[in-house]
Amino acid sequence: MRRFNLRKLALAGLVTATLGLSALASAQTSLLNVSYDPTREFYREYNTAFQQHWQTLKGETVNVRQSHGGSGSQARAVIDGLDADVVTLALAYDVGALHDRADLIPADWQSRLPSNSSPYTSTIVLLVRAGNPKNIKDWDDLARDDVAVITPNPKTSGGARWNYLAAWGYALKKYGSEEKAYEFTRKVYANVPVLDPAARGATNTFVQRRIGDVFIAWENEAFLSVEQLGKGEYEIVVPSVSILAEPPVTIVDKNVDRKGTREVAQAYLEFLYTDDAQRLAGKHYYRPSNPTIAAEFADRVPAVNLFGIDEVFGGWKVAQETHFNDGGVFDRILSEINK
Amino acid sequence: MAFARRQQSVIPGFGITLGFTVFYLGFLLLIPIAGLLLYTAQMSWDDFWRAVSNRQVVASYKLSFGASFIAALINLVFGAIVAWVLVRYQFTGKRIVDALVDLPFAMPTAVAGIALVTLYAPTGWIGQYLDVFGIRIAYTQLGVVVALTYIGLPFVVRTVQPVLEDLDKEVEEASAIMGANRLTTIRRVILPALLPALLTGFALAFARAVGEYGSVIFISGNLPFRTEITPLLIVAKAEQYDYPGAAAIGTVMLLTAFVLLLIINGLQWWTSRRYR
């Protein structure tokens, strides 16, 4: 009995030691990329490519771990201590919180990499059911009384903030005043029958529950839905004007300096701008930031008249404070709808 | 005090078990609650009042507490019937039914929410037939009640069951012999004996429903002012890094729930005295 216990103990010790050692070994060449939901497929392929690149360049094996979730909650997890080496989130506001709330990155983080630190971009499009039964052509149709619109709550979902700003920006450009833009956006949100807290839930509502006539979506997600859920089931309607969605990336300085992974983390992000990685982004229906590579994919993603968040809204911070914070424009819209 | 000392001498371990209880409750309950109050205390009274009395927040209190109350009432009635059937009758498959009752405890609430919405959505298995009659469950306040009823089901059954098992059949027979009809027996003999257990089950189901998040957000539609529950608003506040605001609403929920539970417990104590 006693011997058995000893052997068991020895075995347990051995297992623990091995686990500990392997943890140590991997700690030296392991990266954690904290990202948002729809980048799952892209980064799975990208990580393999980067591993090969790093192996041939340095002769080192690097192990990249991924974490996916809603962009805002992911940022909060990193602020609360999740050990991310790099973050690749849906909007600059969430990345900026890493500086504003926890001083994990410097204030000028967005100017450290090309194209506003967004190696790939996307835009907001409209997904409709096969045959486009409600004949939806552009943003204006979303304000019609007979159309039900599915989009998540911009208060809880980062992606949904792009949706909201795309609609607002369209109206502002077309009708020329803030009041008209407010009126238009209010009409669109009055047509929302279900307001999911996150983008994934909204996709389910539109696809599985078959609620709503039009789903406001990121272009890359819209293409994925069409591809995965059957080509005959949905159609993508590209609006005349939309927003340039820039999901930015950065290394998390405090974390990489503590873990000694700055060099590999930096290389990981810079590799996103190489031709191969840009093509990979294009393959996953993102818009490559490199114009030459983007041209190769021109027949896959249609040309849209895009406006930036800085030119129309004065940047994320202002947009957040004006529209989405408590007592902001979105709250006003909600309480007017529910008078 | 004299009472406590006498207990101590007869049943050993009073000191150590009480010490452990205080530590255990302090660690698990009081420290998190103190953290909540601490966050809230950072706000000025005006900020606090603005955060908790906003029209949208008030609408969510009404839904959260109202739907929880209705759900607990439904569970009170049907939970008592289920307990009655499980205790008083023998039938094949009884053990399976008995085990099924606990399922809402074990099932992840998100799974429950998705399952319910699959059933009750206008395109769902049940929802498509209800839709013909113009009854909508998913994405309405009714859906919130359905989800909260589901998660609260086991409480009343499990609190009433043991009491019912202890209730001798002879008492009912005596009541019948003395000339009471069935309704009178239920009203005058069975219900009074069950009342404390029913109230406990009701209180537990109600408290559980007030705090429920996972299953509701799938079926409610989450429309502000209409189908948005308070826990979702708290998450929304936290999502905007408004921790004091989230804590303030949390505090209001906590206090309200505490007062309501206190009242129910008081009722329970009163009824158990009255019918002794």
- At residue A289, does pLDDT exceed 90? yes
CA distance A78 to A252: 9
The amino acid at B97:
V
Q: Which chain B residues touch A if contact means CB-CB below 8 Å?
A: 51, 54-56, 59, 117-118, 121-124, 138-139, 217-218, 221-226, 232, 235-242, 245
Q: Find the residue in A nearest to B123 (Cα).
A: A209
Q: DSSP characters for A206-256?
A: HHTS---SEEEEEHHHHHHHHHHS-TTTEEEE--SEEEEE---EEE-HHHH
Strand order through the sheet with A249-251 = A63-67, A30-35, A86-88, A249-251
CA distance B216 to B227: 10
Probe site for chain B from A74, A99, A156 (most B CB atoms < 10 A): A156
Same domain, yes or no: A105 and A150:
no
For chain B, what is the mean pLDDT? 90
- At residue A60, does pLDDT exceed 80? yes
Would you say residue A286 lies in a domain? no
Last residue of a domain, one of A225, A256, A273: A273
Q: Do A194 and B226 lie within an 8 Å CB cutoff?
A: no
Q: Residue B128 sits in a domain of what CATH number?
A: 1.10.3720.10
How many Å from the N-terminal Cα to the C-terminal Cα in chain B? 26
Would you say residue B104 lies in a domain? yes
Residues of B in contact with A208 (CB under 8 A): 118
Same domain, yes or no: A98 and A223:
no
pLDDT value, residue A8: 53
Residues of A in contact with B57 (CB under 8 A): none
How many Å from the N-terminal Cα to the C-terminal Cα in chain A? 76
Which pairs from A273-281 meet CB under 8 Å and 24+ separation? A273/A113, A273/A114, A273/A119, A276/A49, A277/A46, A277/A49, A277/A50, A277/A119, A278/A119, A278/A120, A280/A42, A280/A45, A280/A46, A280/A49, A281/A42, A281/A119, A281/A120
CB B37 within 8 A of CB B31: no
Q: Residue A20 sits in a domain of what CATH number?
A: 3.40.190.10
**Residue A73 to chain B, least CA–CA distance (Å):** 7
Same domain, yes or no: A239 and A128:
yes
pLDDT value, residue A237: 94
Same domain, yes or no: A146 and A113:
no
Q: How confident is the model at residue A25 (pLDDT cuts 50, 70, 90)?
A: very low
Q: Find the residue in B nearest to A331 (Cα).
A: B56
Would you say residue A296 lies in a domain? no
Q: How confident is the model at residue A27 (pLDDT cuts 50, 70, 90)?
A: very low
Q: Find the residue in A nearest to B214 (Cα).
A: A197
Q: Do A325 and B240 lie within an 8 Å CB cutoff?
A: yes
Classify residue B134 as exposed, middle or buried by CB count within 10 Å of its CB (0-12, 13-18, 19+).
exposed
Q: Find the residue in B nearest to A154 (Cα).
A: B236
Q: Which domain holds residue A198?
A: 121-245+302-337
Would you say residue A294 lies in a domain? no
- At residue A258, does pLDDT exceed 70? yes
Would you say residue B22 lies in a domain? no
Same domain, yes or no: A234 and A268:
no
Angle at B258 between CA B251 and CA B27, to 5 degrees: 75
Q: DSSP characters for A89-131?
A: -S-HHHHHHHHHTT--S-TTGGGSSTGGG-SEEEEEEEEEETT
Would you say residue B65 lies in a domain? yes
Same domain, yes or no: A200 and A163:
yes
Q: Find the residue in B nearest to A334 (Cα).
A: B224
Cβ neighbours for B177, distance < 8 A, ≥ 6 positions apart: none
What angle separates helix B14-25 from helix B2-10, to the nearest 10 degrees? 110
Out of A6-20, A202-216, B48-62, pick the least confident. Answer: A6-20
* Average pLDDT, integer, range B212-238: 92
Residues of A in contact with B118 (CB under 8 A): 208
Q: Which domain holds residue B63?
A: 58-229
Same domain, yes or no: A9 and A109:
yes
CA distance A212 to B122: 11
* Average pLDDT, integer, range B12-39: 90
Probe site for chain B from A74, A155, A206 (most B CB atoms < 10 A): A155
Residues 24-83 of A with CB under 8 A from B: 72-73, 76
Would you say residue A287 lies in a domain? no
Q: How confident is the model at residue A2 (pLDDT cuts 50, 70, 90)?
A: very low
Using CB atoms, which residue from B223, B235, B245 is nearest to A195?
A: B223
Out of A18-32, A146-160, B38-52, B227-241, pick the least confident. Answer: A18-32
B157-208 pLDDT per residue, tens = 999 999 999 988 888 888 888 888 888 888 888 888 899 999 999 999 999 9
* Average pLDDT, integer, range A234-256: 95
Would you say residue A156 lies in a domain? yes
Q: Indicate the number of domains in chain B.
A: 1
Same domain, yes or no: A95 and A170:
no
Q: Find the residue in A nearest to B47 (Cα).
A: A326
Would you say residue B35 lies in a domain? no
Q: Do A335 and B56 lie within an 8 Å CB cutoff?
A: yes
* ipTM of this complex prediction, to 2 decimal places: 0.78
Q: A26 or B155: whose pLDDT is higher?
A: B155
Q: DSSP characters for A33-71?
A: EEE-GGGHHHHHHHHHHHHHHHHHHHS---EEEEE-S-H
Other C-beta atoms lying within 10 Å of the C-beta of residue A65: 14
Q: Do A155 and B240 lie within an 8 Å CB cutoff?
A: yes
Q: Do B221 and A194 lie within an 8 Å CB cutoff?
A: yes
Using CB atoms, which residue from A194, A196, A326 is nearest to B245?
A: A326
Q: B38 or B74: whose pLDDT is higher?
A: B74
Q: Find the residue in A nearest to B220 (Cα).
A: A194
Q: Find the residue in B nearest to A192 (Cα).
A: B223
**Residue A150 to chain B, least CA–CA distance (Å):** 11
Residues of B in contact with A73 (CB under 8 A): 239
Same domain, yes or no: A125 and A109:
no
CA distance B275 to B257: 27
Q: How confident is the model at residue A203 (pLDDT cuts 50, 70, 90)?
A: confident
Using CB atoms, which residue from A72, A193, A208 is nearest to B239?
A: A72
pLDDT value, residue A3: 47
**Residue A102 to chain B, least CA–CA distance (Å):** 12
Q: Which residues pair with A241 in a beta bridge?
A: A305
B105-135 pLDDT per residue, tens = 899 999 999 999 999 998 889 999 998 998 9
A77-126 pLDDT per residue, tens = 999 999 999 999 999 999 999 999 999 999 999 999 999 999 999 999 99
CB B152 within 8 A of CB B78: no
Would you say residue A325 lies in a domain? yes
Q: How confident is the model at residue B34 (pLDDT cuts 50, 70, 90)?
A: very high
Residues of B in contact with A97 (CB under 8 A): 241
Would you say residue B52 lies in a domain? no
Residues of B in contact with A338 (CB under 8 A): 59, 224-226
Q: What is the pTM assigned to this prediction?
A: 0.83
Same domain, yes or no: A224 and A125:
yes
Whether chain B has a CB inside 8 Å of the CB on A192: the answer is yes
Same domain, yes or no: A176 and A136:
yes
Q: Indicate the number of domains in chain A.
A: 2
Per residue in A164-187, is it b (16+ CB within 10 Å) or e — as a string? bbbbbbbbbeeeeeeeebbebbbb
Same domain, yes or no: A133 and A60:
no
